[in-house]
Chain A
């Protein structure tokens, strides 16, 4: 299917600081596309550029083939939740949504529908300034979905949500994508993205580092690290070492093995009769790998990732 959001060489300077640096990417419908990068890497700026709240220094971005500004009914095209609060603190949630709905002739009952959907029924008449962070996020989601948009763009949507809210958000995102909508979600949390996103666009310091499916990225980023605990760890380690395999003895009885899958290690242990107390593909190191990746600001050329021409 044709891409919905298309950015070409998108660049934004704030004074001397380059917030977004030559970003070229496309977001396709029907899947959840994660927009991953550490805080300050340019995710929010990119989203503001897509909505034309800020004008790019160079480059261009379109939504459904047009600049956002040129759509006759923008709220039907893109529903956006920005990281910074975008609600007047003195207005009730209901009137906030109603004011937005009226710009597009969206009826009152749609406002009621959205308030129910995000679970703000009890507080809809209260001033939004009194809302908790989580309630504010829910109101932001309601505003984003008001126009039944074909594209949903959310900046750090799980921020400030409680566990129940996070679960709700994940299922909402999946549901929206399953309905064929384009879902573009930013996060600085690798773990969150690995649960919700099908595709990842990873940026660091305003530049694109990777543009790949989540599973490919996880495989590459984790580098096949497996955590092994065994009373005979040292002996086991000797059998595991090979040309492309490194074994690191982190502490007595605990190894980190690079270059073998958990299954391969388990097979070796079983064949040699070693007891295993733990055998874990190291998901925990993902966050670290991601941080290393983005901190270095270098091209990410792991196997299975698309080659990058935009990054010098």
Chain B
């Protein structure tokens, strides 16, 4: 038995705290930046966004002389500048999934929901923190990718474009918006599925498996349906040109935003109903 002298005393603390949405956001910011996995996946997204356009631009530039007119016509400077976005979306999506599934796999979610038992503030805070951080972090890389690839291609008039050309600024900045929204969409998926492997698989199915499957459909159907898929709608945010079978940037972007809102809404409903 312990003696009185050895009894541990817990220092008192002021009880002026209360849970607010702003504080939960601050807490989620602390959680996000204090994980190595976050830093690595965001670093990978930044690197891929810049590296691919630079490599593509260099390869195109060096092979320009040997390319057929048809091949040349196929090259578009913005496609080169934003080539990295297609690859980097994997990194932001995986991180988006991990933001919630990482808490479930480690048990952290119990601590999070004990501190914030109303739960929804946690989901909103995760979304806001992830969205803001990923957009602010991805904006410089898409700009760097654009100007760097343009600099590399400066010898070829056909591959020159300007940031002030109609749609160019929207497409380049849209690349960062798209990377953010893909991550938010994946965050919603992760919060629904609650399992890292399942979340990534679900995301991959929606973005990489279902779209090619549409080719099985009659062309007329495929053209009518595919443009409304999340991946296709989202892609319009950073696409310069739009054909008759794709949505315009704003409708496409808003539809993708709607998909994000839908996954988050489903996640929210499940979050308050399910046991932890």
Most chain A beta-carbon contacts within 10 A, residue among B2, B23, B107: B2
Identify the 10 closest CB pairs spanning chains A and B, nearest first.
A104-B17, A95-B34, A171-B2, A148-B13, A175-B7, A102-B27, A86-B110, A54-B275, A88-B108, A86-B111
Q: How many CB-defined contacts (below 8 Å) exist between A and B?
A: 145
Contact B17 A76 (CB under 8 A): yes
Which A residues lie within 8 Å of B27 (CB)? 99-100, 102-103
Chain A CB within 8 A of B30 CB:
yes
What's the least CB distance linking B269 to chain A, in Å? 14
Chain A CB within 8 A of B10 CB:
yes
Distance of A110 Cα from B16 Cα, bound (Å): 13
Selected contact of B23 from candidates A71, A82, A102, A167, CB within 8 Å:
A102
B56-80 Cβ-contact flags toward A at 8 Å (1 or 0):
0000000000000000000000000
Selected contact of B10 from candidates A100, A105, A143, A145, CB within 8 Å:
A145
CB within 8 Å of A: which B1-37 residues: 1-2, 6-13, 15-20, 23-24, 26-28, 30-31, 34-37
Chain B CB within 8 A of A295 CB:
no
Contact B34 A52 (CB under 8 A): no
Which B residues lie within 8 Å of A105 (CB)? 16-18, 20, 23
Identify 22 residue pairs between A and B in the complex whose beta-carbon atoms are under 8 Å apart, listed by A's number: A69-B118, A73-B19, A78-B114, A82-B110, A82-B114, A85-B106, A86-B111, A88-B31, A88-B108, A90-B106, A91-B31, A99-B31, A104-B18, A105-B16, A113-B11, A113-B13, A117-B10, A172-B8, A175-B7, A178-B7, A179-B9, A179-B10
Selected contact of B19 from candidates A74, A95, A195, CB within 8 Å:
A74
CB within 8 Å of A: which B100-117 residues: 102-103, 106-111, 113-117
Q: A90-B35, A91-B34 are in contact. Are A106 and B107 (CB under 8 A)?
A: no
Distance of A174 Cα from B7 Cα, bound (Å): 7
Selected contact of B17 from candidates A51, A53, A88, A106, CB within 8 Å:
A106
Selected contact of B275 from candidates A55, A86, A87, CB within 8 Å:
A55
Distance of A90 Cα from B101 Cα, bound (Å): 13
Most chain A beta-carbon contacts within 10 A, residue among B8, B9, B37, B109: B8
What's the least CB distance linking B2 to chain A, in Å? 4
Q: A75-B115, A84-B107 are in contact. Are A117 and B8 (CB under 8 A)?
A: yes
Number of A interface residues, CB 8 Å? Answer: 54
Contact A51 B117 (CB under 8 A): yes
Selected contact of A52 from candidates B7, B11, B106, B117, CB within 8 Å:
B117
Chain A CB within 8 A of B157 CB:
no
Chain A CB within 8 A of B276 CB:
yes
Chain B CB within 8 A of A225 CB:
no
Contact B102 A90 (CB under 8 A): yes
Chain B CB within 8 A of A285 CB:
no
- Interface size range of chain B in the complex: 35 or more
Which B residues lie within 8 Å of A31 (CB)? none
Distance of A105 Cα from B26 Cα, bound (Å): 9
What's the least CB distance linking A44 to chain B, in Å? 11
Which B residues lie within 8 Å of A110 (CB)? 13
Interface of A with B (CB < 8 Å)? 48, 51-55, 68-69, 71-76, 78, 80, 82, 84-92, 95-96, 98-100, 102-106, 110, 113, 117, 143, 145, 147-148, 167-168, 170-172, 174-176, 178-179, 195
Contact A104 B276 (CB under 8 A): no
Which A residues lie within 8 Å of B111 (CB)? 86-87, 96, 100, 143
What's the least CB distance linking B275 to chain A, in Å? 4
Q: A98-B30, A102-B27 are in contact. Are A53 and B102 (CB under 8 A)?
A: no
Contact B106 A87 (CB under 8 A): yes
Which A residues lie within 8 Å of B28 (CB)? 99
Which B residues lie within 8 Å of A179 (CB)? 9-10
Which B residues lie within 8 Å of A53 (CB)? 110, 113-114, 275-276
Which B residues lie within 8 Å of A147 (CB)? 13, 15, 17
Contact B13 A86 (CB under 8 A): no
Selected contact of A88 from candidates B2, B35, B117, CB within 8 Å:
B35
Which B residues lie within 8 Å of A174 (CB)? 2, 7
Which B residues lie within 8 Å of A89 (CB)? 106
Distance of A168 Cα from B103 Cα, bound (Å): 30
Which B residues lie within 8 Å of A75 (CB)? 17, 114-115
Q: Given A54-B275, A104-B115, output 18 extra A-B contacts at Cβ < 8 Å.
A: A72-B19, A74-B114, A75-B17, A76-B17, A82-B110, A84-B107, A87-B107, A88-B31, A99-B27, A99-B30, A99-B34, A102-B26, A103-B116, A117-B11, A147-B15, A176-B10, A179-B9, A195-B1
Which A residues lie within 8 Å of B6 (CB)? 171
What's the least CB distance linking B104 to chain A, in Å? 10
